[in-house]
Amino acid sequence: MTLISLALKSLRNRWFSAFLCVLTIGLSTALLLAVEHIRASARSSFQSTVSGTDLIVGARTGAVPLMLYTVFHVGEASNNVSWASYQRYANLSSVRWTIPISLGDSYQGFRVVGTTDAMFAHYRFGAKRALAFVQGQAFNNTDAQAVVGSAVAEKLGLILGAKLAVSHGLGNVGFIKHAHAQQTLVGVLAATGTPVDQSVFVNLAAIESMHAGFDGSARVPAAKTDLGHDHADHADHADHNVEIAANANVPSTPKAITAFFIGLKVRPMALALQRQINDDADEPLLAILPTATLQQLWRLVGVAEQALSLVSIAVVVTGLLGMMMALIATLEQRRREMAILRSVGARGHQIFSLLLLESSALTLAGLAFGAALISFLLALFANTLASRYGLFLSVHWLSARTLLGLALIFMVSVLLAVLPAIAAYRNALSDGLSVKL
């Protein structure tokens, strides 16, 4: 008690250096907490980029590539799934819902996903959250309508009723535009923090009909949803402009789709169905369990995350070393102080404790400052981060993990303070009561 008040008063006397110590420790702690919090949030949001889906089925490829192009819209499908196969699985009694998707087109650099209204009814992300509309509603399954993700709407300044001319192919500015088959914007989705934000959803039927005729015949429209079309296709595309205009809005049944999501009535059936699909005799297909593949993917991405953690730990250690140096630097000037304390009966170990108490007080103040700062910043920016970047950060950064981190910082600081404390102890014993100044 006595020593604590002595330590605090001595620190108050050196308030500026103490203040700088607290500031350094506080800022580095806040950085560590922020990184840890964002890391945890990013991890959980990544791992639930898609949730509630039991299987994702595409043409046979690797599990990671299938996940990448169906959910993250990275890379391209090498092959399609025939409509017949899709129908076969969609109609199984164990299947509750399916979402067919057809990729390969783009709008102003954003990927176009041809799908049905099942997307808005069944697709889930995060903690089983459905896609929500900030404006408008889902498209119907017959008209040439589109729904865009939040990032698309914001970046392109789209408003409901806008006419989107979807480009064929994935180039930033596709040079062949389906000008004849413009999609009317009927809905804008809320931010999800997933690739959905970057997507343009159009009616699968509409996308089929606008591709109809690329091959010179409306009778063979299907394969055009794949990405493998070459320039020869584009060349004759121009010839068909007039012809196509006639059947622009006619829904047609696609011959093939890129992939489809499956929701089952009974979850444990997923493994059995996965095996069945992978062993499909009619068509080489691949079914993946999204959760498992997402974890596999995170292991790839996680390296960067660990590097970030390491950097922030280094920053904290630097802050603590700074405090240790500040304590050591003052020891020489404080020999007189120690000698006075010795003369009134302070024991060697009390001098030692005094230094430890000082460093503990500085660290605790630093930790409190860091924690207050992070709470303040989260309260201030959590909403902006969620709506702008789809990064959903909880205001409650305190978890068992961060608490452990704070405790570790404190322990390291006490350990580091042992060095100046030993120096002070030895000085005090060798100086005794007389210090020549």
The Cα–Cα gap between 62 and 69 comes to 11
Q: Identify whether the C-beta of residue 250 lies closer than 8 Å to the C-beta of residue 240.
A: no
9, 128, 219, 299: residue in contact with other proteins (rule CB under 8 A):
9
The Cα–Cα gap between 265 and 256 comes to 25
Q: Which is nearer to other proteins, 78 or 350 (CB)?
A: 350
Q: Which is nearer to other proteins, 75 or 348 (CB)?
A: 348
122, 211, 224, 342: residue in contact with other proteins (rule CB under 8 A):
342
91, 93, 172, 434: residue in contact with other proteins (rule CB under 8 A):
434
Question: Quick one: tokens of 100?
Answer: 């067919």
Q: Which is nearer to other proteins, 13 or 394 (CB)?
A: 13
Site for other proteins in 298-337 (CB under 8 A): 336-337
* 345 belongs to the binding site for other proteins (CB under 8 A): yes
* 16 belongs to the binding site for other proteins (CB under 8 A): no
Q: Which is nearer to other proteins, 138 or 338 (CB)?
A: 338
For the chain, what's the residue count?
437
Question: Quick one: tokens of 227?
Answer: 């990405």
Question: Quick one: tokens of 322?
Answer: 């700074």
What DSSP string describes 274-339? HHHHHT-SSS-EEEE-HHHHHHHHHHHHHHHHHHHHHHHHHHHHHHHHHHHHHHHHHHGGGHHHHH
Stretch that binds other proteins, among 5-13, 42-50, 82-90, 254-262 (CB under 8 A): 5-13
The Cα–Cα gap between 349 and 237 comes to 89
Cα 118 to Cα 51, 55, 261, distances in angstroms: 15, 15, 10
Residues ≥6 apart with Cβ < 8 Å to 243? 213
Angle at CA 83, nearest 5°, toward 80 and 85? 85
| Minimum distance of other proteins from residue 364's CB (angstroms) | 20
Give the distance from CA 413 to its chain's centroid: 32
Q: Which is nearer to other proteins, 273 or 326 (CB)?
A: 326
Q: Which is nearer to other proteins, 218 or 354 (CB)?
A: 354
| Minimum distance of other proteins from residue 365's CB (angstroms) | 17
Cα 373 to Cα 51, 365, 378, distances in angstroms: 33, 12, 8
Give me the 348-387 binding string for other proteins, x by CB under 8 A, dash otherwise: xxx-------------------------------------
Q: Which is nearer to other proteins, 351 or 365 (CB)?
A: 351
| Minimum distance of other proteins from residue 21's CB (angstroms) | 17
Give the pairing of strands 167-168 and 199-203: unpaired
Identify residue 71 by its one-letter amino acid code: V
Number of neighbouring beta carbons within 10 Å of residue 40? 17
Stretch that binds other proteins, among 10-18, 137-145, 146-154, 182-190 (CB under 8 A): 10-18
Question: Quick one: tokens of 217?
Answer: 């015949």
Stretch that binds other proteins, among 6-14, 104-112, 200-208, 271-279 (CB under 8 A): 6-14
Stretch that binds other proteins, among 269-277, 279-287, 345-353, 415-423 (CB under 8 A): 345-353
In terms of Cβ atoms closer than 10 Å to its own Cβ (0-12, 13-18, 19+), residue 2 is exposed
* 117 belongs to the binding site for other proteins (CB under 8 A): no
| Minimum distance of other proteins from residue 16's CB (angstroms) | 13
Q: Which is nearer to other proteins, 157 or 345 (CB)?
A: 345
Q: Which is nearer to other proteins, 17 or 375 (CB)?
A: 17
In terms of Cβ atoms closer than 10 Å to its own Cβ (0-12, 13-18, 19+), residue 25 is buried
Please give the size of the binding site for other proteins, defined by CB under 8 A: 23
103, 119, 259, 341: residue in contact with other proteins (rule CB under 8 A):
341
The Cα–Cα gap between 266 and 25 comes to 52
| Minimum distance of other proteins from residue 361's CB (angstroms) | 14
Q: Which is nearer to other proteins, 351 or 385 (CB)?
A: 351
13, 87, 253, 306: residue in contact with other proteins (rule CB under 8 A):
13
Residues that bind other proteins (CB under 8 A): 2, 6, 9-10, 12-13, 336-337, 340-350, 432-434, 437
